[in-house]
Every structure is written in structure tokens, then in C-alpha cells.
Amino acid sequence: MEIRCTEEGPGPGIFRRELGEQQQPTSQSQRWCCLQRGCAILGALGLLAGAGVGSWLLVLYLWPATSPPLSGTLQEEEMTLSCPGVTNEEEFLPSLPKTVSFRLNGEDLLLEVQVRARSDWLLVCHGGWNPTLGIHICQSLGHLRLTQHKAVNLSDIKLNRSQEFAQLSSGLEGHLEEAWQPSTNCPSGRIVSLKCSECGARPLASRIVGGQAVASGRWPWQASVMLGSRHTCGGSVLAPHWVVTAAHCIHSFRLSRLSSWRVHAGLVSHSAVRQHQGATVEKIIPHPSYSAQNHDYDVALLQLRTPLNFSDTVGAVCLPAKEQQFPRGLQCWVSGWGHTDPSHTHSSDTLQDTVAPLLSTHLCNSSCMYSGALTHRMLCAGYLDGRADACQGDSGGPLVCPSGDTWHLVGVVSWGRGCAEPNHPGVYAKVAEFLDWIHDTVQVR
């Protein structure tokens, strides 16, 4: 079925079939003959219609009650059938293979590195170790900071006989790609253990049972940014003292007193909020390149005066790992307290969430959708048929995507045409483009 990008007709995928007028018979015998034929045809059509309805009811009865949502990729393929200038080709050049990768393994959090084209993981010898490298490694894995590093004796752990090591080259501080030399032994007899700031875990996620209303602890990094007693925008917790939101949320109220801002985390229902609760804001830091005209660079950091107390219901989300790829069609989630109907007449007192598959930026910039309005600092996610979307009041909130058991903040709710309009999915600030600015800002302060 053709999907149209114009607003003509009853809507995408809905068609009207017009029946041609039959020529009227002139004689009584002809009328009787036609009447007999007409009855026969109507009877046949009735049998076919009955069979069709029966089949439809059978399929409806046997089909699973909770089928998964359509992937964004399938919808994109349908969309490209009639959207001028859009092809199925990826708009980005394929990324070069990473020359070095890191992971923290086991209960001892042993640092392992994979270098160049080798498939094996190497333990890192402690000789030549520098804490600055630990900071860069934690950040490259999506963590905000390094919290601990130490040396572990090889005699205290069990090793495979084939285990090899990586020696650190001297004089290459901060150059992660060039600092590692494979070695069959570790002269110092000690290896590096690294602990980064915790993020991306959902301790209470297993307690959640279906539905769109969110139970406590499902998204522990979800924050509500409030001006006085009024919810203004969503936010995402990065650390006890740091929350990221949208710059346009702050820009609209930039003349308000700093003491009027509060951040609430671990919150599900706004009706449970009492006056003077929440963390007070010490500093509001919008991205210096934010544009109010097109919402480019639409991110801001809030430094909290009073830290958030982490628990099962309050925690940090991971940033995207360096060069981490999140493919289109990936099932991500957006959450917030915004309007729950496109007419903007009803906001939700209870936190809501929905799946939002990632969509190709090339597609979203096509003439069918946003006609080139998305910059390199933006991405879009949602459904082409408008079945679910973020809306007013959700701005600044998280678009998170899973990588194994870890959740990463891929987008910040930014803008869109209307809410849940067909061919106009939600547009988000692309967090991967702001990693250096986030890390530099947090480190300086």
C-alpha cells in the first residue's frame, strides 16, 4: 500500500474505491435477466465477504495480544517508496574500525584492552600507569568520571596460560590509540584495576509489569526540573551534582531567580511533591552555541548545590561510549510528564514512557518530513504513523537506548512539529555530539 506524504485524502494507507455506474437495461426481459445475474453476483460477493470476515476473526483470535511495535527500519523502507529524493542508502560513510577498545572485567574490575586487529583481550600492566589515562578510559566507556584505580598482584588472580598483556608506552599520556604494546609477560607482576562512576543500571526494572504508567525505579535517572512548584521540563541525572536538560527549557526562563529552580529525582507522581523539596540548583550552564531560532545545540547542564542521594530509585544514566553506534530501528525509550494528547489540554501527573525507534536523519530531513531542518547535533526517533511521541512538558527528558544491560543517554527531548503527527516524529539533541563539552564542563567545576 502506498504511503502518501501529502495531507490529501483520509490519511496514509487509506484508499477509496469508486464503483463505475452500470448501463440501465431497456426491456423487461433484460431487466429480469440482469436481476437474476445481479442476485447471483451479490450472492457470490456475500459468500466471499463472509469468508473474508471469518478469516479475519480467526486471525484476530489466534494473533498474540501483545505483538511488538513495528521497527523504524521497516517503516523507513515503506516511506522511501514515495518520498522524493530519499533512498535506502546510508547517508554516512562507514566508520573506520576502532584501533583500541576497553572493558572492565570480573569482580576485580580488571582493565582489559583490545588493540588493532587482534581479537584477544589484553590485561594492562601497571608499569607506566597514569590516572589521566583512567579518566579518559572511563569517559570513553560512557561514564562521567574515574572513581578508583589500583594495582592488583598477578599472584592474587587466576590466569589462563594463553593470557597476554599490554604494556604502556611512555610519553604518550592521553593518546589512547598509541599507548598500548602487546606483550607475552608483565615484568611488574601487577595489573590495573579500574572503577568508573556507576551508571545505566535499573535495580528495580524486574518489578515492572506492562502498561504505560511508570513504576518507581524503572528510569532512575529521570528528573523533573521545576520552577517554583511547577514542572517545567524533564532532565537526566549524570551524577549526584549534575543533571542534563534542554537549553530551550532554561532559555525561556533565563531571567528567573536561581533559587527558584529545583530538581526532583526518584519521582513518579507530581502530586507527591511538597514545597521546598528537591535539590537546589547552584549553576545553570546552557551550551554556548545554543540557537533559539532552530534549537541547535539544545543541551544545558544543571549543577546542583545539594547532591542527589542515589538509591534503587535514583541513579545516573550512562553517556554514549566513544564512537558507539546506535543503529536506526533500535528500540529506545522516551519518558516524561508532558501532555498525553496532541491537543495539549492534559498533562500527566504520573510519569509516562513509550518506545521510540531510532530513525535515519537522512529520512527525517527529507521533503516529506522536516525538509532539512535537522542539523548534525540532532537525531529523530518515533513512528511515521504518529502512534506515540514526546510532547510539550517532556522537553529536556531522556531518550535512552540499551546496550546489553546498560542504558545510554542517546538523545535529549528537543522539538517537533506538533505531537504524534504522521511523518513528523520527535527530534532530539544528539548527546554523542556534546561529550567533550559535558566532560570539560564537569571537570572544570
- Domain annotation for the chain: domains and CATH numbers: 100-196 (3.10.250.10), 220-315 (2.40.10.10), 331-431 (2.40.10.10)
pTM comes to 0.77
* Range with the poorest average pLDDT among 35-44, 288-297, 319-328: 35-44
How far does Cα 418 stand from its chain's mean position? 20
CA distance 4 to 14: 10
d(CA 398, CA 236): 6
pLDDT in tens, 343-393: 655 667 889 999 999 999 999 999 989 999 999 999 999 999 878 878 878
CB atoms within 10 A of CB 183: 14
One-letter amino acid of 263: V
DSSP state of 360: -
Query: Which residues have CB under 8 Å from 389's CB, separation 6+?
Result: 354, 356, 382, 383, 416, 419, 420, 421, 425, 426
pLDDT in tens, 73-131: 445 544 544 566 555 444 443 444 567 889 998 888 999 999 877 788 999 999 889 88
Measured CA distances, 9 to 4, 243, 329 (Å): 9, 45, 28
Catalytic site positions: 248, 298, 395
Rounded CA gap, 58 and 340, in Å?
A: 34
Say what the pLDDT of residue 170 is: 66
